[in-house]
Structure 1
Amino acid sequence: MIRRLRLAKGWSQERLALEACRAAGLPPDSLKRQDIYRYEKGKRTPREWLPSVAAALGVPLVELQAAAGKSAQESAPVTVADFLPDIDPLTPLKVRQGRRIGAGDVTDLAGRVHGLRLADDVLAGGDLIGPALRELKSAIKLYREGSHTQEVGRALLSQIGELAQIAGWIASDAGRHEEAERIYKLGMSAARQAEDATLVGNLAGSLAYQYSNTGRTKEGLSLARAALDQAGEDAPPKARALYLDRVAWAHTKANEAQPAMRALGEASQALAEDSEARESPQYLYWVEAGELEVMESRVYTELKRPLRAVPLLRDVLTRYDATHTRELALYLSWLAVALADANEPEEAAATAKRVISLSADVASERTAERVRVILHRLEEYRDVPEVREVLDDAA
C-alpha cells in the first residue's frame, strides 16, 4: 500500500523518506531510502514510523495499520503500479510464452471493454475504478503471459489501448489524475505497438483534455494538436470531430477564443462527413451532434458568452437521457454558470440546486468540482434570496 500511494504521488523512495521525516519533525536523514525500500518489500514493518508515513502520504493512520496486517496477496490491485511495478508505461510490453491465446479470447475481452464503457454512461468514476483496473490488470496479464500469433497480439494490444482509455477516464473522474495519466500513457504505448493511429489519437486527446482541466493548459493544447495532426485527414469522421473538439477546449482553457471557435466549426464539418462508407470505431458510439453542441455551449460559457450558451444548453438538455446522472449534472452546471453570467441569478440558483441534488450520490470528482465552481460564481449574487438559500444550504 505504501508503494502504491507513493507512486500515485509521483514520489521516489528518497522523497517519501524526506516527507516522513518532515511529518515527524526530525532531521532529514532520520529515515532513509533503504528503509522505505524494506517497508515496500515487506522485509520490515514501519512500526514507530507508521504515523509519519501515513501523514506524509495523506492517508488515515488506521488504513496503513490495517494494510500492515494483511499480506500482499490479500490486497486487491487498485493502481497501475500494482501490476506494472518496474516498467515505464511507454516501454513496449514484453511477451512471455504461456497458454495459447486465440481470437476468441480477444472477442471476450472486447465485450468486457465495451461493457465497462457502457457502465461509465450511468456510473461514476468512484464506483468503477476498482473493476476498471482489475480488467486492465487481467488484459495485460493475458498479453504478457500467453503466446499468440502476431495478428492476435496486435488485436490484444488494441483492446488494452481501448481499456486504458476508459480506465484513464474513470480514474480522472475519480479525481486520481496522476494515476489516470499513467494509464493513458500505457494505453498510448499499446496502441502504438498495435499500429492503431486512431486509438493513439483518442488516448492522447483524453490525456490532453485532462491536462486542460487541471491547469496544464500549454501541455493540453500541444498534446491535443499533436493528436489531431497524427490522425491526419484520413481519420474516421467521428474520431476527427472528437479530436477537434478537444483542440477547441484546449484553446478555450488557454483563453484563445478565435482558434477555439474555428476548431468547433471544423468538428461539426467532420461529423457531417460521417457515413457507412467510412465506419468509425465502436468506442466512438457516443460522438454525435448533441455532444458537439454541449462542447460548443461549454466553450461559449467559458468565454463569457452566455447569450449563445444558454439556448444551446437548454435545447440539448430537453433531449438528454436522465439516466446519465453524472453528465446531466455536468451539463446543468454549465447552464447554471451561463445563467449567472447572463444576470439571471434566480434561474441560476434553481439550476444550481438541481445540480447539487443530482451530484449528492455521484462518486465523481468532476461533478464535485463543478459544484464548487457554481457556488463560487453565485457569491456575487448572495443578496438575492434564492441564491443565499442555495449558498447557505451548501455551506
Structure 2
Amino acid sequence: MIHAMLGVDPIELGFLNPPPGATVGSASLLLQEGTSVDRRAFLADSIGAATAAAGVPPAPNRPTPPGNQGAVGTAHLIELREGLRSLYHLDNAYGGGDVRSLAVRHLHRIQRVINTSRYPESIGRQLQLLVGETAEHCAWLYYDADDQDSARRYWGEALTTATVLKDSSLEILVLASLSMQASYEGRPRDGYDLARAAKERAARLGSPTLQSLLASREARALSLLGDDTAARRSLMESMRLAERRDRGRPAPEWAAFHGAAELDYAHGLLYTESGHHERAVHFLRAALAHQDRTYGRNRALYRLTLARSLVNADSVDEGAAHAVESLEHLEEVESGRVTRRLTEVIDLLDKRDAVSARDATRELRDYLHERRAA
C-alpha cells in the first residue's frame, strides 16, 4: 500500500520485512483473525514516515515511473488504484481516525499526477474518476472520525467529479453517503431525500444489492423521522432485494460490504429508535454473529450497540460484559463514531446500581482516559 501511494519501498520507511507471501498492504498480514498487529504503532509509523517520504532516496522497486516524455499509462493507473484499495482494507480493520491522513496524501498524489504528467484522454478520464473515488473515501474516513465538516467538503469534491464525468456509479455512492451522514447528524428529512435521489439513479443500473443498500438507508431515515410503518416497509424491500443478489447486474465494488450483517444491524437500529429494545437485541446479536472478522471497526461498533440495547432492555450484567469485551476490539480501532457509542454506553451504565455496571463503568472510563492521554 505505502509503495503504491508514495512511490517508496515500505522497508525504507521503517516497516519490518513482511513474512514470505505477505505485503504491507495485504489482507493476509493486516486483517487475519487473531492478529497481534498494534494499530497505533503500525499507522503512526506509516503516517510519520509518509511525511518524510519526499526526502527518501530513489529505490529500485518504486512504482513504474512515467515514460521519457512524462506520459502516464495503464500501469500507473493500476498502481494508484491498488493504493486506494489498500486504504479500504486499512479502514475496515482499524477505522478512519488514523487512515484519513494517508488517504489525503494519496488524493494529493493523484492530483499531482493529473496536473504534471502527460496521458491520453482515456487515461485522463480514469485518473479524474480515481480522484473522485479517493475524495469520496477521504470523506468517509472523516465521517468515521466524526469530523463532519471535513467529510462534507470531500463529498462535495467527489460529487463535483461525478457530475463533470457524468459517472452515475460515483454519483450514487456520494448521494448514499450523504444520506447516511444526514441521518447520523439528526437531519433525517435530508437523509430520506438523498436516499430517494440515489435510488432513482440506481434503478436503471439493475443491481439488486445496490438497490437493497439504498432501501436500507431510506429505512434508517424514516425510522428517525418516526414513521415506523414506512421504515419497516423499506427495510422489507431491502431484504427482498438482498435475496435477489445473484440476479441482475453485480453490485459496484464499494457496495460489497452490504449483506446479512448490515441488514440485521439496520433492523436493530429500527427497533432501538421505536423503543423495542428486546427486539433490537435479537437483531444486534445476529449482526455481530454475521459480521466478517476482517471488519474490526464494525465489530466494535456492533458490540457496543448490542451492549447499549441490552442495558436499555434491563439486561445490565450482560450489557456490561459486552461493553468490557469490546475493549479488545477498541485497542485496534480509531473511530470517532465508535468512541461516541462507547460514551453512550458508559453514560447508560453509570445510571444503574448493579455491581457489574459500576465495575464496567470504572474500567471503560479508565480506558478512555488512558487513550486520550496517549
The aligned counterpart of 2:148 is 177
Match 1:286 to one of 248, 257, 260: 257
Deviations 1:327-369 (A, max 9, x none): 1110011211221232211111111222345325522101110
Q: Could you tell me how far apart the structure 2 residues matched to 1:119 and 1:130 are?
A: 12
1:161/1:191 contact within 8 Å kept: yes
Change (3 A) 1:205 1:354: same
Q: Could you tell me how far apart the structure 2 residues matched to 1:146 and 1:192 are?
A: 24
2:138/2:154 contact within 8 Å kept: yes
Match 1:385 to one of 338, 355, 358: 355
RMSD: 2.5
Alignment pair present for 1:245 and 2:216: yes
Letter in 2 for 1:124: G
Q: What TM-score comes out, normalization by structure 2 length? A: 0.73
* Aligned structure 1 segments of 4 or more residues deviating by more than 6 angstroms: none
The aligned counterpart of 1:81 is none
Q: Could you tell me how far apart the structure 2 residues matched to 1:332 and 1:265 are?
A: 24
CA deviation after TM superposition for structure 1 residue 224, in Å:
2.2
The aligned counterpart of 1:116 is 87
1:356/1:371 contact within 8 Å kept: no
Q: Which has the larger radius of gyration?
A: 1
1:202/1:239 contact within 8 Å kept: no
Deviations 1:25-58 (A, max 9, x none): xxxxxxxxxxxxxxxxxxxxxxxxxxxxxxxxxx
Letter in 2 for 1:149: P
Deviations 1:41-90 (A, max 9, x none): xxxxxxxxxxxxxxxxxxxxxxxxxxxxxxxxx899xxxxxxxxxxxxxx
Q: Could you tell me how far apart the structure 2 residues matched to 1:229 and 1:331 are?
A: 30
Q: What TM-score comes out, normalization by structure 1 length? A: 0.70
List alignment gaps of at least 5 residues for structure 1.
1-73, 77-97
Q: Could you tell me how far apart the structure 2 residues matched to 1:353 and 1:326 are?
A: 16
List alignment gaps of at least 5 residues for structure 2.
1-50, 54-68, 366-374
Match 2:120 to one of 144, 149, 166: 149
The aligned counterpart of 1:223 is 194
Instruction: Classify the secondary structure of the residue corresponding to 1:232.
Output: helix
Match 2:203 to one of 214, 224, 232: 232
Deviations 1:85-105 (A, max 9, x none): xxxxxxxxxxxxx94333333
Instruction: Classify the secondary structure of the residue corresponding to 1:255.
Output: coil
Deviations 1:141-172 (A, max 9, x none): 22333343333232223222221222211111
Q: Could you tell me how far apart the structure 1 residues matched to 2:71 and 2:178 are?
A: 34
Higher RCO (C-alpha under 8 Å, 6+ residues apart): 2
Q: Percent identity?
A: 28
Aligned pair count? 301
Alignment pair present for 1:162 and 2:133: yes
2:206/2:248 contact within 8 Å kept: no
CA deviation after TM superposition for structure 1 residue 280, in Å:
2.0
Instruction: Classify the secondary structure of the residue corresponding to 2:326.
Output: helix
Q: Could you tell me how far apart the structure 2 residues matched to 1:143 and 1:273 are?
A: 40
